[in-house]
Amino acid sequence: MGKKKIGIYSFSGCSGEQLVILECGAELFNLCDLTEIKSFPMAQSNNEYTLLDIGLLEGSITTERQKRELKEIRSHAKILVAMGICACFGGIQSMKLGEGGWKKRFQKVYGDEDKLFKTMKPLESKPCNAFVKIDYYIPGCPIDKKQFLHSITHVLNGSSPYLYQFSVCTECKWKENDCLLLRGLPCLGPLTRGGCGAACLCYNIPCVGCWGPAEVLNVPSEYRLLIEKGYTTEEIQRKFRKFGGAPMVECLKKIMKQSNYSATKAPRLKGGI
Amino acid sequence: MRVLWMKKEDLREFLESSKQFGELWGPVQKGEVYVYDKIDDFSRLILEPKRTLLPVKKLIHPPEFNILRYEGETYKTELENIPRRVVYGVPPCDIHGLLILDDLFRRYYPDPYYITRRERTAILGVSFCTPTEGCLCKSMGTDVVQEGFDLFFSDLKDFYLVWVGSSLGDDMVKVRPDLFNNNITRKHLDKFMECKKERDEKFTKSIDMTVIPDIMELSYDSPVWEEIGERCLECGACTMVCPTCNCYNVVDEPSISGFTGERRRYWDCCIFTEYSLVAGGDNFRATRADRLKLWYTHKLKSFGYSGKPACVGCGRCIDTCPVDINVLSVVRGLLGGKEKEGKS
């Protein structure tokens, strides 16, 4: 059996995932030994779209050309892995996803579309799974080295990666940080996928949700909690949507549909403290 | 049990001498919370017992660690790397938490990782802390402790009454016999009773544990579970800080070559959806209400083979939950909000 062929492809994002892979040290050499790397734009020239065992994607899709390339990669790859918040959820550039009005916003910034970007044909930024089937996700902004190595090892060996399903709070408690929500700060820890080691919380900086929505989350409860802490619905929605992508938009739509929604309607225990 | 007394000012000297039994650990302040930490600088150590964010279980049953490393077909556990420690400042509720974990990890399912850490950790308890908001140890009967420690210091203002709870504790005392006094008189006993009474009067919250286990049994269909299930953020913080939560997950982390790797163990939590998820996608406790009910059944009704409630009344869930779900609010909810808030 020959070496497995892998390819790393970059769309719209900061290429942070590739940098993390480049920082893997000795394990990167082992990866190079065991695989044939067909594409890795930050590390080599002559990158190609070819038959692959594993395709690794970073960045969100923002042009017709990227969309075409993504579909081509999918057709060539046995397994596709989305890496990082942009590929998994759309990233910060997709924060208005689902709101409509993209054309108007685009025009405001770039002017008349017909006169610009003839070759690229811009699209509203969307995560990779809006266009093709993604087999596995490695969340993060950027991804975590350990989670990347864990995932690529499992995928190379034909098994499924197993990443933390819990939210940031779990690791935050392991690190014995004071809960910022209890201090009244707008921390998105309970809504956000764990794995970052509660990096910001260890410096008393509230979680902004950059790893994307957790597998299981209770958006209405956190929403109510922040209303109780005195934040406005606009502030909360902006915070939730910054990295939340399409899943968060859906959750928020449901919350806002409850027409008489207000903090006083929050279910409380009888005689609760 | 051997009981001695010691002058308060001699504590520091004693703790310095105890360092020959292992690294000295104790509560220190970290931002607005207290945590157990290694004491290199004695001025950081807080002498009176504090409600640390994580209980002392973090040193015996750590949040995450490697069980073993493997290479080819051989493996090596990491038991020999476990350091010897002397942990000062452990309150009675935390020691009761350890006793419940002992039951589980030493008696019924001998766990070498727990047992080794437990044996290499000297527990120096301290009591007669001023109860703070949320202290429920008196309700739970965990405000006094007879076993589970090596030495126990009852802080009686002018002096410590020192209870020797193990042969290791005895050895520690023997290193500095000059600091301890055998002569316990009526005066010491009177002071002990006086301090206990004074402390007992300072509890502000209580739970009537003579009825709560039965109330739990009768509340299986209570709407309270749905209500808290809707509010719970599923963050797992309550289980992480609970002295008697013990669940963990084990995962293998092979290296890319596949030849070497390590087996990691880290805290899991029954509040998580994934916890009760099984192959095929079925979930035994699919709703948060179901999962919270299980947790509170363990804490307030019965847990493990002892069949006793596992809550030790440390109050950490009260300090920790961002949405006010804790033993106190659940009990109030189950009692229809009639639970008295005054003194017991």
Burial class (CB in 10 A: 0-12, 13-18, 19+), B58: buried
- The answer, yes or no, to whether residue B343 has pLDDT greater than 60, is no
- The answer, yes or no, to whether residue A272 has pLDDT greater than 80, is no
Distance of CA A58 to the CA centre of its chain: 10
Q: According to the model, what pLDDT value does residue A110 have?
A: 85
Q: According to the model, what pLDDT value does residue A264 have?
A: 37
d(CA A29, CA B229): 48
Cβ atoms within 10 Å, residue B73:
6
Chain B CB within 8 Å of residue A155 CB? no
Domain ranges for chain A, please list them: 4-156, 168-260
Residue A267 — very low, low, confident or very high, per pLDDT cuts 50/70/90? very low
d(CA B37, CA B262): 26
**Residues on chain A touching B258 (C-beta within 8 angstroms):** 153, 157
ipTM value: 0.93
Q: According to the model, what pLDDT value does residue A273 have?
A: 26
CB contact under 8 A, B234 and A272: no
Chain A CB within 8 Å of residue B337 CB? yes
Q: Among all residues of chain A, which has the CA nearest to that of B328?
A: A273
Chain B CB within 8 Å of residue A25 CB? no
Chain B CB within 8 Å of residue A144 CB? no
Contacts with A47 (C-beta within 8 Å, 6 or more apart), sequence order: A7, A38, A39, A40, A41
What percent of chain B clears pLDDT 90, i.e. is strictly above it? 85
- The answer, yes or no, to whether residue A120 has pLDDT greater than 80, is no
CA of A167 vs chain B CAs: smallest distance (Å) = 6
- The answer, yes or no, to whether residue B344 has pLDDT greater than 50, is no
**Residues on chain B touching A170 (C-beta within 8 angstroms):** 235-237, 240, 267, 269
Chain B CB within 8 Å of residue A34 CB? yes
Cβ atoms within 10 Å, residue B152:
27
Q: According to the model, what pLDDT value does residue B337 have?
A: 63
CB contact under 8 A, A149 and B256: yes
Q: According to the model, what pLDDT value does residue B166 have?
A: 96
Q: According to the model, what pLDDT value does residue B74 have?
A: 94
Each residue's pLDDT tens digit, A5-52: 999 999 999 999 999 999 999 999 999 999 999 999 999 999 999 999
d(CA B151, CA B160): 11
Contacts with B292 (C-beta within 8 Å, 6 or more apart), sequence order: B225, B228, B229, B232, B271, B325
CATH no., domain A4-156: 3.40.50.700
**Residues on chain A touching B34 (C-beta within 8 angstroms):** none
Contacts with B57 (C-beta within 8 Å, 6 or more apart), sequence order: B94, B97, B98, B101, B243, B246
Task: Return the higher-pLDDT residue of B81 and A70.
Answer: A70
- B165, B148 Cβ separation under 8 angstroms: yes
Contacts with A199 (C-beta within 8 Å, 6 or more apart), sequence order: none
Chain B CB within 8 Å of residue A156 CB? yes
- Coil, strand or helix at A139: coil
Burial class (CB in 10 A: 0-12, 13-18, 19+), B61: buried
CA of B244 vs chain A CAs: smallest distance (Å) = 15
Each residue's pLDDT tens digit, A213-261: 988 889 999 999 999 999 999 999 999 999 998 888 888 888 887 744 4
Q: According to the model, what pLDDT value does residue A100 have?
A: 85
List A residues 206-245 in contact with B (Cβ-Cβ < 8 A).
215-218, 220-222, 224-225
**Residues on chain A touching B267 (C-beta within 8 angstroms):** 170, 174
Chain B CB within 8 Å of residue A26 CB? no
DSSP state of B216: H
- The answer, yes or no, to whether residue B340 has pLDDT greater than 50, is no
Q: Among all residues of chain B, which has the CA nearest to that of A194?
A: B235
Each residue's pLDDT tens digit, A173-188: 999 999 999 999 999 9
d(CA A60, CA A96): 14
What percent of chain A clears pLDDT 90, i.e. is strictly above it? 76
Q: Among all residues of chain B, which has the CA nearest to that of A222?
A: B233
Distance of CA B276 to the CA centre of its chain: 25
Q: According to the model, what pLDDT value does residue A250 have?
A: 82
Residue B339 — very low, low, confident or very high, per pLDDT cuts 50/70/90? very low
**Residues on chain A touching B274 (C-beta within 8 angstroms):** 165-166, 215-216
Each residue's pLDDT tens digit, B27-63: 999 999 999 999 999 999 999 888 999 999 999 999 9
Mean pLDDT, rounded, for B15-21: 96
Helical spans, DSSP H, in B157-287: 167-175, 186-200, 212-218, 223-231, 237-241
Q: According to the model, what pLDDT value does residue A117 have?
A: 64
Q: Among all residues of chain A, which has the CA nearest to that of B226?
A: A267
- B131, B203 Cβ separation under 8 angstroms: yes
Residue B244 — very low, low, confident or very high, per pLDDT cuts 50/70/90? very high
Residue B233 — very low, low, confident or very high, per pLDDT cuts 50/70/90? very high
CA of B92 vs chain A CAs: smallest distance (Å) = 21
The β-bridge relationship of strands B260-267 and B248-254 is antiparallel
* DSSP bridge partners of B253: B262
Q: According to the model, what pLDDT value does residue A155 have?
A: 95
- The answer, yes or no, to whether residue B261 has pLDDT greater than 90, is yes
Chain A CB within 8 Å of residue B329 CB? yes
Q: According to the model, what pLDDT value does residue A263 have?
A: 38
- The answer, yes or no, to whether residue B70 has pLDDT greater than 90, is yes
d(CA B289, CA B252): 31
